[in-house]
Structure 1
Amino acid sequence: MSVCFRLFGAGLLATLAGCDGPLSNVELQRYLQTAQVHPGEAIEPLPEINPAHVFTYDALTLRNPFQAVPGRGAGNWQVSLVGDELDGDRARQFLEGFDLEQFEMVGTLSNDLETNALLRLNGVIHRLKVGDYLGRHNGQIASVDVAQVEVFEVISDGRGGWLERSLTIPLKQHS
């Protein structure tokens, strides 16, 4: 270990000795004389600094993704007593696996007995009538009109009670 320390010390002394040679003093004196005679030429001007691009974060003005889409007839949840009547053993239908906000009403089909709503989901048109289930929260079609479909949803509040809301899916024009 002492051999390594001796070699390191010798290398350090050799490096420091090279910095103080007569040649470096001559070059330093020459540079200082040039800088005194031509002060503007000896030092290069500082480069022009452009201000950094300012980024404005505009996401605060966007709609909260966890709230219903405005204009889609989203109602507010309110306390309900209807949840006690829900049939927990009922087989879930295919359309109950999707959020109501994904459905678009594209038209109606009517006959003498009933009016059916035509709802589009992921590019597929589904024909539904009053009483059919859809949406993740026990949604059930309450009424079908030529301009909108009203859906009634019920969800557990997690404390033994129930919340309900009624919302409408308006007819989408030019679909």
Structure 2
Amino acid sequence: MMTTRLYCIGLALAGAAALSGCDNGGLDEVRQWMDETRQQTKVNVPKLSEPKKFLPFSYDQRDTVDPYSPTKLAIALAKAKGNSSSILKPDMERRREALESYPLDTLRMVGTMQKPGINYALIQADRTVFHLKVGNYVGQNFGMITNITDTAVELKEIVQDASGEWVERQAKLELQEIK
């Protein structure tokens, strides 16, 4: 036990002796170089320019009509309606029919049916088939059925053009085979 202690003490002394031979590894040289560089370097901070002066704007139009006023907008829309040269416009007051909520490209003509004196078109929307006659409305553009043949349903749609005027256009749903 005594020998192990002496062995440990000897090992510790040998390690201390080995470490005492090492110097600071050039740390003094690095510190000296940093001190010299600090002394030679001059700090150059440019002066900041003065901030621009804020001149408040005085709004002199407080007593005039607000350009975003709902009443002013309503007056402008009423004038535009009055100046409209188009007599044609859809009846917005009438009750909507079931197929007016579908775009025309989602509807399919799947057949026709005849009763005494009346031709009916069979139009499929989703998975439901509706029977329609001349005068019924179809599609989202106020399309009224004007003619029904064995192969097609002809429509008269009322749409707005680029200038906001209501114009008529013809559309057609053709008979499609069921797949």
When normalised by structure 1's length, the TM-score is: 0.50
| Higher CA-based Rg | 2
**Structure with the larger RCO, 1 or 2 (CA within 8 Å, 6+ apart):** 1
When normalised by structure 2's length, the TM-score is: 0.49
